[in-house]
Amino acid sequence: MKGVIYGISPDVKIVDITHEIPAQDVRTGSIALWRAVPYFPAGSVHVAVVDPGVGTARRPIAAKLGDQYFVMPDNGFITPMLEDAESAGEEIIIVHLDNPEYWLDTVYTTFHGRDIFAPVGAHLAAGVPITKLGTVIHDPIRKPLPRPQKTEQGYRANILVIDIFGNCSTNLRVAQVPNLAKTTLKIAGQSIHGIIPSYGHRSPGDLVAVTDSEGFVEVAVVNGSAARTFGIQLDDPVEVFFDE
């Protein structure tokens, strides 16, 4: 894919966000990109390929959301970025990549990343208008992320991200918590009292709640793995109580 991109747009700068997305895990890939996008400059082109439907009737798409561009399969991957653009009232253009002029000459049904998405991304980076790449559409596949549910005592959240350290981020933003010190979390049969500033505020082995690097409530074990220690998995429930 990089060779294809450099062959079309040799002056482009390529940044790898991650190659560690679990196989076929569209949601985890989508979240990883969603959390990285705000730190990229205007005009960046994001090529994201988690594509279990490669070679089927699923559409390849490109999108302009605000001042960022995206190239990916139409399998729900675009959802969180699209929702943010809609909420912000930003310009939105989405096209079905049905113009083979901007693909490789030979397209294999098992490697659209190299043969369609990489060349399209390179042409975008080289200045080709997005509307030349295909037909404008208004019905991309959406797969919204689970949202925390308000309860009488606080929220019922879920684990949305588990990183390589075994830290477990929820879908509840810290900004939704009125008093960090007077908050109790219950997960995997454990109770955590208070959301602390960082891991170093407790002792190694302690189960804690902190603010993750994107502003969400995170469950972690200091110098350890919360996921492994307590068997926490994606989508596990987290009960959040706002103490009186």
Domains of the chain: which residue ranges? 2-136, 149-242
Mean of pLDDT values over 63-83: 98
Mean pLDDT of the chain: 97
Q: Give the C-alpha separation, 166 to 225, whole Å.
A: 4
Q: Which CATH class is domain 149-242?
A: mainly beta
Inter-residue long-range contacts of 15-23, CB under 8 Å, 24+ positions, other chains counted: 15/40, 17/46, 20/164, 21/50
Three-state DSSP class for residue 199 = helix
Neighbours of 182 (CB within 10 A): 14
**pTM score > 0.85 for this model?**
yes
Quick check: do 2-136 and 149-242 share a fold?
A: no
The correct CATH number of 2-136 out of 3.40.50.10790, 3.60.20.10, 3.40.50.300, 3.40.50.2300 is 3.40.50.10790
**Whether residue 189 has pLDDT greater than 80:** yes
Mean of pLDDT values over 213-236: 97
Q: What is the pLDDT of residue 243?
A: 87
- The answer to whether 218 and 169 are in contact (CB under 8 A) is yes
**Whether residue 244 has pLDDT greater than 80:** no
